[in-house]
Structure 1
Amino acid sequence: MNAPTWTFVCTSAELLPGEMRPVFDEVTGTAILVVNLDGDLYAVEDRCSHEDFELSAGVLDPAEGSVECVLHGARFDLRDGRALCAPAYSPVPKFPVKVEHGGIWTRDDRD
């Protein structure tokens, strides 16, 4: 098994609380959305499970910890990826995030 390859997102100073940043994992070809919720970092696949549309184009609700897809209004909990309302019923994959050497990193850890 290969060692996991982490993808650099941005410096810690570039992702403030209440902000989100899309990044592309070039190893797996996955678009990932990284979000800062009051200092806690979360990463989910940047793709609505209802329609193949970027969640990064949606509306972030830092108080609820969710993102809403602009296409049909599906909302997802950024902490665990679960769908919060119709028309989405399936969760979006959640990914690990780490802060190291002043940078934020994530990776698609699915096998």
Structure 2
Amino acid sequence: MKKLNFGLAISALFILVGCGASRDYTPPADASGEQIFSTACTECHKPLSPNVAMILSEKVANKEALIKKFQSGSMRMPAFKNIQGEAADRLADYILTNSQVK
């Protein structure tokens, strides 16, 4: 039983570490915000409906905060440092347009 609990604890640790890591994804130059979201974000952020990509807190419901969040990551979210410039603007615009604020 102790071996099983130890194995589960190690598995959980690897999953948590993987979520906080950096991702090397670089969007194509002409990728839309929706395409970037679909490729980079939907592994963890499943759209809630066809018209609602995410539910945002008021803290990140602005373009600058969103860009900082996906470029820097957090404990549970990987950093997407290669989403820069116009691609970052398109992704942030897509998220803001297609999300609800709680």
TM-score where L is the length of structure 2: 0.30
Higher strand proportion, which one?
A: 1
Higher Cα Rg, which structure: 2
